[in-house]
């Protein structure tokens, strides 16, 4: 593996619900805020990899009511994502360009992380992009991934990328302020500021009622991913992606969201 060319590396994952409004439409100013923070880090010689969900919901936004119904759920996902992914990249390309930065799209399936040639190929791709000062934007290649090569969700993809590039930190941005000890909408619930990698978290997981294209996985898998990454010595943060300056605050060591660490 080539030497790190930048001071620090941060993997930032942004969930579908961060970037959409109540009508499930993509909110460009939210994407702008995220990119602005990545630009702030860049000026400090900290390179980010952005793992962005949103292709399915963006595809739904473009297509509206289907001309011909697609009965198969997996095929619907393929069509929505294939249509929505370039729309997401159009947003990002234009915003990064406004900040005088370059970005690139890296789509993957789980097979691309299998030890051997596939993994080496992924490493080469990320290392070369980062070395050039280009921000990789990753997403699952939903148009081609089959159930056996699917990630649980993009949280898993983000953790695999973080491991692959020896990231100093993994930030999972979602639509809650972090992990709560009860339902996040319940007034009596408190934010958990710190979790350990080996701590039992089952009792915190609450029911969620998200619809098609509104995201996958849920808090159970998010916590599983965070604890697994923390065990591998990658401090992981779960925080609200709609908050101003959330990424920079986390990198600056401010107490934001839920921090998951090895011990």
Ligand X SMILES: N[C@@H](CCC(=O)OP(=O)(O)O)C(=O)O
Ligand Y SMILES: Nc1ncnc2c1ncn2[C@@H]1O[C@H](COP(=O)(O)OP(=O)(O)O)[C@@H](O)[C@H]1O
Annotated binding residues? 13, 53, 142, 154, 174-175
Closest C-alpha among 232, 244, 242, 218 to residue 164 = 232
38 versus 150: smaller Cβ distance to ligand X: 150
Instruction: Tell me which residues touch ligand Y (CB under 6 A).
Output: 15-17, 155, 174-176, 179-180, 184, 204-206, 208, 210, 215, 217-219, 222
Q: Please, what is the minimum distance in Å from the beta carbon of residue 5 to ligand X?
A: 29
**Is residue 51 a contact partner of residue 154, using CB atoms and an 8 Å limit?**
yes
User: Helix 28-43 crosses helix 73-98 at what angle (to 10 degrees)?
Assistant: 50
Name the binding residues for substrate.
53, 142, 154
139 versus 236: smaller Cβ distance to ligand X: 139
Q: Please, what is the minimum distance in Å from the beta carbon of residue 20 to ligand Y?
A: 10
Q: Looking at beta carbons, which residue is closest to ligand Y?
A: 15
Q: Please, what is the minimum distance in Å from the beta carbon of residue 228 to ligand Y?
A: 15
Rg (the chain; Cα; Å): 18
78 versus 154: smaller Cβ distance to ligand X: 154
Q: Please, what is the minimum distance in Å from the beta carbon of residue 212 to ligand Y?
A: 13
Give which of ligand Y, ligand X, none residue 136 binds (C-beta under 5 to 8 Å, depending on kind): none
Give which of ligand X, ligand Y, none residue 180 binds (C-beta under 5 to 8 Å, depending on kind): ligand Y
102 versus 210: smaller Cβ distance to ligand Y: 210
DSSP 26: B
Q: Which two tokens stand for residue 36?
A: 């602005």
Give which of ligand X, ligand Y, none residue 55 binds (C-beta under 5 to 8 Å, depending on kind): ligand X
**Is residue 108 a contact partner of residue 85, using CB atoms and an 8 Å limit?**
no
212 versus 255: smaller Cβ distance to ligand X: 212
Instruction: Tell me which residues touch ligand X (CB under 6 A).
Output: 15-16, 53-56, 81, 139-140, 142, 153-154, 215-217
Name the binding residues for ATP.
13, 174-175
242-247 own/partner pairs: CB under 8 Å, 24+ apart: 242/18, 242/30, 242/175, 243/177, 244/33, 245/37, 246/37, 246/173, 247/10, 247/12, 247/34, 247/37, 247/38, 247/41, 247/48, 247/171, 247/173
Give which of ligand Y, ligand X, none residue 44 binds (C-beta under 5 to 8 Å, depending on kind): none
Q: Please, what is the minimum distance in Å from the beta carbon of residue 70 to ligand Y?
A: 23
**Is residue 130 a contact partner of residue 136, using CB atoms and an 8 Å limit?**
yes
Chain-centre distance for alpha carbon 160: 11
Q: Please, what is the minimum distance in Å from the beta carbon of residue 158 to ligand Y?
A: 10
Give which of ligand X, ligand Y, none residue 204 binds (C-beta under 5 to 8 Å, depending on kind): ligand Y
Pairwise CA distance, residues 190 & 176, whole Å: 12
User: Helix 218-231 crosses helix 154-164 at what angle (to 10 degrees)?
Assistant: 10
């Amino acid at each position: 593996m080539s030497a790190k060319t930048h001071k620090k590396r941060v993997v930032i994952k942004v969930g579908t619900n961060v970037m959409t409004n109540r009508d499930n439409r993509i909110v460009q100013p939210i994407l702008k805020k995220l990119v602005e923070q990545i630009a702030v880090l860049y000026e400090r010689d900290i390179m980010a990899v952005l793992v962005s969900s949103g292709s399915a919901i963006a595809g739904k936004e473009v297509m509206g009511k289907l001309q011909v119904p697609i009965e198969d759920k997996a095929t619907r996902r393929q069509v929505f994502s294939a249509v929505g992914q370039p729309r997401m990249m159009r947003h990002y390309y234009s915003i990064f360009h406004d900040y005088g930065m370059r970005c690139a799209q890296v789509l993957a399936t789980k097979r691309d992380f299998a030890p051997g040639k596939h993994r080496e190929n992924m490493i080469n791709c990320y290392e070369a992009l980062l070395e050039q000062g280009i921000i990789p934007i990753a997403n699952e290649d939903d148009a081609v991934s089959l159930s056996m090569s699917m990630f649980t969700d993009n949280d898993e993809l983000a953790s695999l990328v973080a491991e692959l590039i020896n990231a100093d930190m993994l930030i999972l941005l979602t639509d809650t302020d972090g992990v709560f000890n009860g339902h996040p909408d319940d007034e009596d619930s408190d934010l958990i500021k710190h979790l350990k990698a080996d701590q039992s978290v089952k009792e915190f997981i609450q029911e969620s009622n998200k619809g098609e294209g509104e995201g996958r996985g849920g808090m159970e898998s998010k916590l599983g991913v965070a604890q697994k990454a923390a065990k591998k010595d990658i401090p992981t943060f779960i925080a609200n992606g709609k908050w101003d300056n959330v990424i920079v605050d986390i990198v600056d060591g401010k107490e934001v969201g839920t921090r998951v660490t090895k011990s």
